[in-house]
Structures are given as C-alpha cells and as structure tokens.
C-alpha cells in the first residue's frame, strides 16, 4: 500500500458526506478501503451488523454506517445511506490515469491521420493512414490504431490496445489494455481437402460510453459491421464474434463468448462465462446467470440459467434434483423391488 498523507479527519469527512461523526473527531483518514482491510487510514462502510462486525475486527480507521446502527469502539460516520456515501468517497478519491499531454515524440502518426490538438498520444503509439482521433481522446503507449479507424472525442485507449483497419470507437468509450478490435472473423469453408478462408471485409463499430475490459476480443464482420451499442459494459477476456450485434446499456461479465451473427437486445445482463450459439436472438432485458449456455432464441425478458438456458426458477429446481440423482436412482430401485414383490404376490 502506498504511503499517502491523511486527507481528512473523522469530522471533516463526516461533514463532506453530510453525516455525523461518532468517535474522536481528529481521527486521521486517507482513503476508501474494503471491509476487512487492515488499513488504519482507511474508511469502509457497513450496511448491516455482519459487515460492521467484520470491519470492527480489522485494523480500519473508520466505518460509514446508517444513523440507526449500533454503537462501536471504532470511529463511525453516520449517514442516511452508507453505500451511497461510500460511493461519494470513491468518486472523491478517484484520480483517473491520464496519458501525458500532447503527442509523444516517439509516436508514429501517419501524415494524413487527423489527430485533434487536444488529444493525447503516448510514447510508441502508432496511428495509421486515414485514422481520426477526436477532441480530448487519450491514446496510451503501444496502442495501434489501424488505417481509417475513428476514435471518438473523449475516448481512452489504455496501453496496448489494437484496432485493426476501419474500426470506430464512440465518444467517451474506454478500451482497456490488450483489447483487440477488428481481427478477422472466424469463417472457413471446407473444400474437401483444406479450410478455405472466407474473406472478412466488414468492420467493428463500438458505440459511445462503452467500456471494454482487458484482453477482450471483438472480431470484424464478414460484411457489414460487428456492433456494440451505446453504454454497454464488457468485462475482461470476452469474445464477441463476427457480425454479432449487442444492444445498448448491457453488461457482459468476464470470459463470456457470443458466437457469430447472434443478436443481443437492450439492457441484457450476462454473468461470467456465459456462452451462446451462433445466429440466436436474445431479446431486451434478458438476464443470463453465470455459465449459462444459450442454444436458441430467448424472447421473453427475465432471468435464465443453465445449459440450455431456461427460466431461472425452473433451472435451479432441475439442478437441485440433478445433485440428488443417486437418491432418485435408489428410489427407482426400491420401486422396482416392491413391484416385483407385488407381482409375485398376485
């Protein structure tokens, strides 16, 4: 943990958060911390007695609790909504990682690329011919922005992002390290002897306010565009195949994979390691629990689980029974024996 100077006292932080200090007012505090962290300058929050007890057992500086929480030996800050107050503290503590101003002398920028003067281009970035980088965009070191790509105003490419040719990124989107956008879609035809490549001549279009996690891949379309809608958030190590369309304001957790030409509606939520078949439609407001597999269309909003994914209560029931299969087998054996007895007794 880095050494930092205290930024608050119990009293000053309580005031900023609109709450009441309950403890030594001059307790020095420096930063938000997680429940259970041993951080004497840290501030965590507790929404209930269990988390309060956990925080009390650690070497934490102070705990944000609700007005009606019990007394504690630890310094408290009492507020009406501890979670919101903690979120406020997170925002106050957030110092976004920023690329250095201007274009680093080692950046290789094609003569006909158009980089807005307010954009920042880091060391050893490469921006190819015909690319456009909007106002205030940040391109960190080692990013590769291919020919005819477009990076929207305010967008951020963290170190080591690769955009193949003709990829567009919407305004204020954040693309994390190791992301590859626009590699060839995976399409081959078997000619009886070898796999013949189907040319992948399409593109990738990422909407505005999208976030894409580290080492995720989004392939270019065979023709047309693979698209991720405005405001959608994608976690690490996700695979989005060619010609997929993901709607706006969705959430796709880590290691999920969406197969070719599948369409995902608006506000869809996928847990970790969800998979889909190709060419399926997933409607708006569908929630897929972690590790679910979607093999056919899902039209109705609601929560789904399992392989194949089905309504979550139904799936949970089937999974519960599946864990009891040995018992079921025993019950069938008992029945068979009894039947035999009954039959012989006829």
Assign 63 to helix, strand or coil.
Answer: strand
The answer to whether the CB of 205 falls within 8 A of the CB of 163 is: no
- Of the candidates 91, 104, 176, 242, the residue annotated as catalytic is 242
Of the pair 135, 322, the CB lying nearest a second copy is at 322
Of the pair 135, 321, the CB lying nearest a second copy is at 321
> Distance between CA 42 and CA 188 in Å, rounded?
55
Of the pair 28, 142, the CB lying nearest a second copy is at 142
Of the pair 53, 322, the CB lying nearest a second copy is at 322
Direct distance between the N- and C-terminal alpha carbons of the chain, in angstroms, rounded to an integer? 80
Q: What's the sign of the alpha-carbon dihedral 229, 232, 233, 236?
A: negative
Burial track 294-321 (b if 16+ CB lie within 10 A, e otherwise): beeebeeeebbbbeebeebeebeeeeee
> Distance between CA 300 and CA 315 in Å, rounded?
16
Q: What's the sign of the alpha-carbon dihedral 78, 82, 86, 92?
A: negative
176 a catalytic residue: no
Of the pair 71, 111, the CB lying nearest a second copy is at 111
Assign 93 to helix, strand or coil.
Answer: helix
Query: Nearest approach, Cβ of 280 to a second copy (angstroms)?
Result: 12
User: Cα 6 to chain center, whole Å?
Assistant: 32
Angstrom CA distances, 66 to 49, 80, 244, 306, 309, stand at: 11, 5, 45, 38, 39
Query: Nearest approach, Cβ of 219 to a second copy (angstroms)?
Result: 7
Of the pair 21, 315, the CB lying nearest a second copy is at 315
Query: Nearest approach, Cβ of 299 to a second copy (angstroms)?
Result: 17
Query: Nearest approach, Cβ of 224 to a second copy (angstroms)?
Result: 4
Q: Which residues contact 237 (CB under 8 A, 6 or more apart)?
A: 213, 214, 215, 216, 254, 255
Angstrom CA distances, 217 to 148, 161, 235, 238, 239, stand at: 19, 10, 11, 6, 5
> Distance between CA 171 and CA 182 in Å, rounded?
18
The closest of 225, 224, 137 to 181, measured between CA atoms, is: 225
The answer to whether the CB of 125 falls within 8 A of the CB of 113 is: no
State the catalytic residues.
Answer: 242
């Amino acid at each position: 943990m880095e050494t930092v100077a205290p930024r608050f006292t119990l009293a000053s932080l309580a005031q900023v958060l609109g709450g009441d200090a309950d403890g030594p007012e001059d307790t020095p505090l420096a930063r938000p911390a997680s429940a259970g962290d041993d951080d004497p300058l840290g501030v965590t929050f507790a929404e209930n007695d269990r988390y309060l007890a956990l925080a009390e057992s650690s070497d934490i500086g102070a705990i944000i609790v609700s007005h009606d929480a019990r007394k504690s030996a630890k310094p408290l800050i009492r507020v009406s909504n501890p979670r919101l107050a903690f979120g406020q503290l997170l925002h106050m503590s957030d110092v976004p990682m920023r690329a250095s101003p201007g274009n680093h002398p080692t950046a290789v920028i094609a003569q006909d690329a158009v980089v807005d003067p307010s954009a920042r281009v880091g060391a050893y970035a490469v921006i190819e011919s015909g690319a456009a980088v909007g106002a205030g965009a940040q391109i960190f070191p080692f990013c590769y922005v291919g020919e005819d790509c477009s990076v929207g105003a305010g967008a951020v490419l963290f170190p080591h992002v690769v955009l193949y040719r003709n990829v567009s990124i919407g305004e204020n989107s954040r693309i994390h390290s190791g992301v590859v956008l626009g590699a060839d879609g995976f399409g081959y035809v078997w000619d009886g002897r070898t796999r013949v490549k189907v040319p992948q001549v399409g593109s990738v279009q990422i909407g505005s306010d999208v976030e894409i996690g580290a080492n995720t891949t989004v392939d270019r379309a065979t023709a047309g565009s693979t698209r991720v809608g405005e405001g959608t958030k994608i976690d690490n190590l996700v695979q989005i195949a060619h010609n997929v369309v993901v709607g706006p304001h969705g959430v796709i957790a880590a290691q999920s994979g969406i197969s070719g030409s599948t369409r995902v509606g608006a506000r869809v939520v996928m847990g970790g390691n969800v998979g889909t078949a190709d060419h399926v439609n997933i409607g708006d407001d569908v929630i897929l629990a972690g590790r679910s597999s979607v093999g056919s269309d899902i039209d109705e909003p609601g929560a789904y689980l399992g392989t194949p994914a089905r309504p979550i209560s139904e799936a949970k029931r089937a999974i519960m029974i599946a864990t009891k299969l040995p018992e079921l087998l025993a019950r069938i054996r008992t029945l068979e024996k009894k039947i035999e007895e009954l039959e012989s007794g006829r």
